[in-house]
Structure 1
Amino acid sequence: MKEKYPVLPEAEPFYFEGSRAGILVSHGFTGTTQSMRPLGEAYAKAGYTVCGPRLKGHGTHYEDMEQTTYEDWIDSVEEGYQWLKERCDIIFVTGLSMGGTLTLYMAETYPDIQGIVPINAAIDIPVMADGAARRAELPRYLDAIGSDIKNPEVKELAYEKTPVASLLQIVKLMEKVRADLHKITCPALILVSEEDHVVPPDNSRLILEKISSAEKELVSLKNSYHVATLDYDQPTIIDLSLRFFAAHANK
């Protein structure tokens, strides 16, 4: 799929070369790399090699997103994974929202992944499933779901509209990932905002229950909404994830 629109400032993919331990960082549905860049920069500062791909159809215009499928989004993270594989012996994956869904997909598909940190990951959003089922009755574009942030001084760079066609794609992705959660065996640090107006927090509890990992932990974020990576708990997320990576990088 060729995108019609230029990439928005701050929505570009990011790459940092560092050690032989790499971290794949994925943004979410209708969002951009801007939501994950602070994490990527902190990981690079800690010495890791970091890749933050721009998911196809994202970071340009919602008309581009409308033309993409969930397979395109998987392709985007897999390209980032291959970039890291050429440089690293160890790879971790983290992601926000649908980026968390893609994080789970990667752990299901690539058993060599050393550990995952899904953040407010989506595997079952009833309102989206309902929208996908009723898409013939809905307008072509719905109002945005972006920027669910407690801190009033921060804004997420995300689309102002959500293509109804894209709802079907994220629902398909969530169904696929949900069905294979048992395949995940790597260590997992699951981070969940106690108050989230986009992804029900029960999603993270279900992930904890369904994955087969011997080492798995669910940690609540008490002072952030959905886009926790840009919210008040950002320092906590960076600290917890860096400790997790350090603990598992040499196993």
Structure 2
Amino acid sequence: MMSNFDVLPGAEPFIQEGGKVGVLVSHGFTGTTQSMRPLAEAFAKEGYSVYAPRLKGHGTHYEDMEQTRYQDWIASVEEAYAWLSERCDKIFMAGLSMGGTLALYMAANHPEIRAISLINAAVEVPAMEGVKDLQDVRFLDAIGSDIKKPGIVELAYEKTPVASVKEILNFMELTHKSLNAIHCPALILFSPEDHVVPPNNSQIIFDHISSDEKNIIELPDSYHVATLDHDQQRIIDETLAFFHKFE
């Protein structure tokens, strides 16, 4: 189905061709590339080839998102991965929230991915489970902009489609089941105070992936959208240091 909605300013994909090492960067559920642009720009500045796709149905209008399925979000990331694969010998991936879920999915299905950096990645959100029983409700309140830093706003939808919540629940369940298929090095960053994804998700991921090399780091001064919060520079520095080890 074709979208009749324009892409919101700031929600465009970020694509920069650099060297032979690539980084695929993914934003989260109902969000946009705006939340990941600081990381994408930092990686590009280091000389990496960087692709931060706009996930299908995102960055336009919540009615557009309502029409998409989790397979569409995977397809958006696979398309970016294909672009990087044509240009790069090695590929890393970084993702926030559902972007982290997508990074886990990609690592399980593309064992050649060198390493992943997960920021408040989601594999189970019990608070969302009740949505499965909703019949006559189309939209819920927004979940974006969970940020501690004053004056910073995430570019995200003002409503959340019920159909999309059902999709992410299915996608998280699928990804949760495949965690033991992940063997690549993983950097797991999490905010102990997160009002969207329970912080214990990071421990679940740490405990269930099969990676020999896995580190878990706390982001004490940020909420869910940590990439736009006080710990932004720490996320960039830790991720770059981690990726450098596996180039």
Which aligned pairs between 1:161-172 and structure 2 lie closer than 5 A? 161-172=159-170
Match of 2:111 in 1: 111
What TM-score do you get using the length of structure 2 for normalisation? 0.99
Match of 1:146 in 2: 144
2:99 partner SS: helix
User: Which consecutive residues of structure 1, in runs of 5 or more, have no partner in the other structure?
Assistant: none
Match of 1:134 in 2: 133
**Amino acid paired to 1:102:** L
Note if contact 1:135-1:165 (Cα within 8 Å) is conserved in structure 2.
Answer: no
| In 2, Cα distance between equivalents of 1:248 and 1:223 | 28
| In 1, Cα distance between equivalents of 2:211 and 2:71 | 26
**Amino acid paired to 1:157:** L
In the TM superposition, what is the alpha-carbon distance from 1:2 to its structure 2 partner? 1.3
- Per-residue Cα deviation, 1:97-126 (whole angstroms, up to 9, x for no partner): 000000000000000000000110000001
1:24 partner SS: strand
**Amino acid paired to 2:6:** P
| In 2, Cα distance between equivalents of 1:99 and 1:148 | 16
Note if contact 1:116-1:188 (Cα within 8 Å) is conserved in structure 2.
Answer: yes
In the TM superposition, what is the alpha-carbon distance from 1:164 to its structure 2 partner? 0.5
Which aligned pairs between 1:177-192 and structure 2 lie closer than 5 A? 177-192=175-190
Q: Report whether the alignment pairs 1:155 with 2:161.
A: no
* Alignment equivalent of 1:208, drawn from 192, 206, 209: 206
**Amino acid paired to 1:22:** G
**Amino acid paired to 1:77:** V
Match of 1:230 in 2: 228
Match of 1:48 in 2: 48
Match of 1:64 in 2: 64
**Amino acid paired to 1:99:** G
In the TM superposition, what is the alpha-carbon distance from 1:153 to its structure 2 partner? 1.4
Match of 2:101 in 1: 101
1:136 partner SS: coil
2:235 partner SS: helix
**Amino acid paired to 1:196:** D
Aligned residues: 247
| In 1, Cα distance between equivalents of 2:74 and 2:50 | 18
User: Which consecutive residues of structure 2, in runs of 5 or more, have no partner in the other structure?
Assistant: none
**Amino acid paired to 2:96:** L
Note if contact 1:55-1:76 (Cα within 8 Å) is conserved in structure 2.
Answer: yes
In the TM superposition, what is the alpha-carbon distance from 1:201 to its structure 2 partner? 0.4
Match of 1:30 in 2: 30
- Per-residue Cα deviation, 1:25-52 (whole angstroms, up to 9, x for no partner): 0000000000000000000001100000
2:116 partner SS: strand
| In 2, Cα distance between equivalents of 1:194 and 1:128 | 19
**Amino acid paired to 2:94:** T
| In 2, Cα distance between equivalents of 1:135 and 1:123 | 21
Superposition RMSD in Å: 0.6
1:86 partner SS: helix
In the TM superposition, what is the alpha-carbon distance from 1:189 to its structure 2 partner? 0.3
What TM-score do you get using the length of structure 1 for normalisation? 0.97
Match of 2:82 in 1: 82
- Per-residue Cα deviation, 1:180-202 (whole angstroms, up to 9, x for no partner): 00000000000001100000000
| In 2, Cα distance between equivalents of 1:240 and 1:105 | 22
In the TM superposition, what is the alpha-carbon distance from 1:128 to its structure 2 partner? 1.1
In the TM superposition, what is the alpha-carbon distance from 1:134 to its structure 2 partner? 1.5
Note if contact 1:26-1:102 (Cα within 8 Å) is conserved in structure 2.
Answer: yes
